[in-house]
Structure 1
Amino acid sequence: MAAIINSFKAVMKGGAFLLTGNVAMFAEMMHSIGDAVNQFFVFIGSALSKKAPTPRFPNGFGRLVNLVVLSAAIIVGILAYETIKEGWHHIFHPTESGGLAIILTVLLIAFLLEVFVLYKAGKEVLHEARVKGGFLAPLTKSFGNLNRAKPATKLVFMEDLVVTVGNLMAAIAVIFAHSTGFLAAEGIVSIIIGLMLFYVVFKVFLENARGVIGETDEQMLNHIAYLISENPHIKDIQRLEVVKEGEYLHVETEVEIDHSLPFNQIDDIQDELSKIILSQPGVTNIVISFDENDGVKTWKHYKEPSTVLKTHDAK
């Protein structure tokens, strides 16, 4: 939805730029093109990342979304550079543009469309973070829960937030330039919009570079450590890894149990732990290993129940 709306906005702003020659509209057109390209890439990457594992790729394709978004970030970076260059040129060689009514109409339509997409993205953020709220929650609570959202959702929300601000800034610059004659204002705003694009590129690059390498989900690690420790047969956790694989989580743990337990009971413990952990948000794969209790407490990292995720399906 975000990619289609940004494509429509890019065409609309491009038409306004051709009719008026307004450099702020050029910057906004490049911004919308960058967002549309990025979001189409994310859509394709997300779809490919959901492919089932194969014998050749037994770990699945979860990290493909990170690789695809990294490629998209390069394209957006080029567009950001072109936006800044055009704004710089306009500051030192300002030209008066007409069609104030056209520009403001286009920016108003773009702003309303962007608020709609931002609201939908905010709802998705809250859904993925399992947070409930009222009508305005997607525009208020989503900021505090953004880290719990999937990479694609986080990217759309962050980009659309920047675009919404950019639309307002472009409208202010156009009105200011037409009312005061300070035409360089449009070039200054164009540079600011380009810098905001670079900021998105920077955030997207870091986020997805960590995803390609494989990053620990600290909050879910604490949560799963607590869930494992709730089992009365688990004496200690020797090792626990919760690694992000694109939009999903891979869990691997080694736990200590009493060596006198029969095999069938150990098998039941494994089934119970697997059921609980796989019911957690985003967890798709788990490996559980057992070792005999050595009497030495190794795992001391998990936090109190009040500081971890408050709900899980198994309960």
Structure 2
Amino acid sequence: MTEMKEESPKAIFYALAANLGIAVFKFAAATFTQSGSMFAEAIHSTADCGNQLLLLFGLREARKPPSPLHPMGAGREINFYSLLVALLLFFVGGAFSVYEGIHRLFAREPLSHAYVALAVLGVSVVLETLSLMGAVREIRKTHPDKSMWRWFRETRESDLLVVAGEDIAALAGLAIAFVAVLLTMITGNPMFDALGSIGVGLLLMVIAWLVAREVKSMIVGESAGPDVRRAIEAHLLARAEIRSIINMITLQWGRDVVVAVQAEMIDYPSGRAMVDAINIVEADLQATFPQVRWVFFEPDVPRDQRGGASYT
């Protein structure tokens, strides 16, 4: 039986708490040290706080019940807010950091009290690591055996995808900023600090593009994850009522799944008996896979057996 965890914003709350604390420390350090890399990191953390609030709002909107206008509910609305977050990460976090770095590359403003910036960056690494660990724990609850890259390509949880992507970008950005500030302190050349800001910005833009690409695919409409799809198909084929599956389509709808099945049934003495059998199959499928909220079942025969008969 394939389990589907309940919608949980725990990873988002971890990230929000971490980024709020980090942003305060970074802005204080950026003001004190006049570090461009630190200022870019502060802007990045502030943008991340706004991103997490957007995701929490998106999760709330996605829980809206079905209505005449949206008969299948608003489950996919979280994908829209996840795309907004990816765009904000690209422009507010990435593009602004590149702009700030280019500005400081020409201005060459001196860096003061670099040790303060290094200390804040070190604390930020610890907090971002804790945030990432929270996201990884949520991922491992349902995908204990998948590599992170495979999960990234196959996941249908856009909110968790964005949080994990942000945390990974943040840790890599902190490493770049730390090296940039350290080199500036050792050499006395503020060029390294400016290059660090540009490096952080470019990194954020690349990760934001990767996240946006995955979320766009979810908005267009993706099938259920490969493991879930295979499990559903195997479950249906094991049913005594079904002779063969002619076609099966799955569609991820937020945290829910839509299943449309065209199957060849065994012989029944009447149409009513077949309808009763189909109802039993549908109920068993939804009991086994709680994430399957809608099932559309069509009994049919393979094309090579249709002959001249007309089927709808």
TM-score of the alignment, normalized to the shorter chain, above 0.5? yes
TM-superposed deviation, 1:265? 5.5
With over 3 angstroms needed to count, the CA separation of the structure-2 counterparts of 1:191 and 1:274, relative to structure 1, is: farther
Alignment equivalent of 1:5, drawn from 9, 18, 23: 18
RMSD: 2.4
With over 3 angstroms needed to count, the CA separation of the structure-2 counterparts of 1:260 and 1:281, relative to structure 1, is: closer
With over 3 angstroms needed to count, the CA separation of the structure-2 counterparts of 1:278 and 1:169, relative to structure 1, is: farther
- Secondary structure of the residue aligned to 1:57 is coil
Which one-letter code corresponds to 2:158 in the other structure?
A: P
User: For residue 100 of structure 2, what is the aligned residue in structure 1?
Assistant: 86
| Cα distance in 2 between the residues matched to 1:158 and 1:270 | 42
TM-superposed deviation, 1:78? 2.2
Aligned ranges 1:21-36 → 2 under 5 Å: 21-36=34-49
For structure 2, the residue ranges without an aligned partner over 5 or more in a row are 1-12, 307-312
- Secondary structure of the residue aligned to 2:264 is strand
Deviations 1:119-154 (A, max 9, x none): 11001001132x27xxxxxxx954543434621112
The structure showing larger relative contact order (alpha-carbon pairs under 8 Å, at least 6 residues apart) is 2
User: For residue 134 of structure 2, what is the aligned residue in structure 1?
Assistant: 120
Deviations 1:271-298 (A, max 9, x none): 234323453364332222222566659x
TM-superposed deviation, 1:198? 1.0
- Secondary structure of the residue aligned to 1:255 is strand
With over 3 angstroms needed to count, the CA separation of the structure-2 counterparts of 1:149 and 1:101, relative to structure 1, is: farther
| Cα distance in 2 between the residues matched to 1:86 and 1:23 | 7
Assess if the C-alpha contact under 8 Å between 1:235 and 1:255 holds in 2: yes
Assess if the C-alpha contact under 8 Å between 2:79 and 2:159 holds in 1: no
User: For residue 308 of structure 1, what is the aligned residue in structure 2?
Assistant: none
Deviations 1:290-313 (A, max 9, x none): 22566659xxxxxxxxxxxxxxxx
With over 3 angstroms needed to count, the CA separation of the structure-2 counterparts of 1:292 and 1:109, relative to structure 1, is: same
User: For residue 212 of structure 1, what is the aligned residue in structure 2?
Assistant: 219
| Cα distance in 2 between the residues matched to 1:277 and 1:294 | 28
| Cα distance in 2 between the residues matched to 1:190 and 1:281 | 46
2:280 is equivalent to residue 279 of structure 1: no
* Deviation larger for 288-297 or 61-70: 288-297
> What TM-score, normalized to structure 2?
0.84
2:31 is equivalent to residue 18 of structure 1: yes
| Cα distance in 2 between the residues matched to 1:293 and 1:259 | 14
* Deviation larger for 272-281 or 198-207: 272-281
Deviations 1:66-105 (A, max 9, x none): 1122223332222121110111122233221112232122
Which one-letter code corresponds to 2:239 in the other structure?
A: N
| Cα distance in 2 between the residues matched to 1:74 and 1:141 | 26
| Cα distance in 1 between the residues matched to 2:249 and 2:96 | 43
> What TM-score, normalized to structure 1?
0.83
2:76 is equivalent to residue 68 of structure 1: no
Deviations 1:215-247 (A, max 9, x none): 123503233222211113212223211111123
- Secondary structure of the residue aligned to 2:300 is strand
User: For residue 288 of structure 1, what is the aligned residue in structure 2?
Assistant: 297
| Cα distance in 2 between the residues matched to 1:206 and 1:145 | 15
Assess if the C-alpha contact under 8 Å between 2:156 and 2:218 holds in 1: no
Percent identical: 24
With over 3 angstroms needed to count, the CA separation of the structure-2 counterparts of 1:281 and 1:160, relative to structure 1, is: farther
| Cα distance in 2 between the residues matched to 1:143 and 1:119 | 16
Segments of 4+ in structure 1 off by > 4 A?
A: 140-144, 292-297
Assess if the C-alpha contact under 8 Å between 1:23 and 1:90 holds in 2: yes
User: For residue 108 of structure 1, what is the aligned residue in structure 2?
Assistant: 122
| Cα distance in 2 between the residues matched to 1:254 and 1:4 | 48
| Cα distance in 2 between the residues matched to 1:93 and 1:162 | 27
| Cα distance in 2 between the residues matched to 1:141 and 1:227 | 26
With over 3 angstroms needed to count, the CA separation of the structure-2 counterparts of 1:293 and 1:78, relative to structure 1, is: closer
Alignment equivalent of 1:238, drawn from 208, 233, 246: 246
With over 3 angstroms needed to count, the CA separation of the structure-2 counterparts of 1:231 and 1:295, relative to structure 1, is: farther
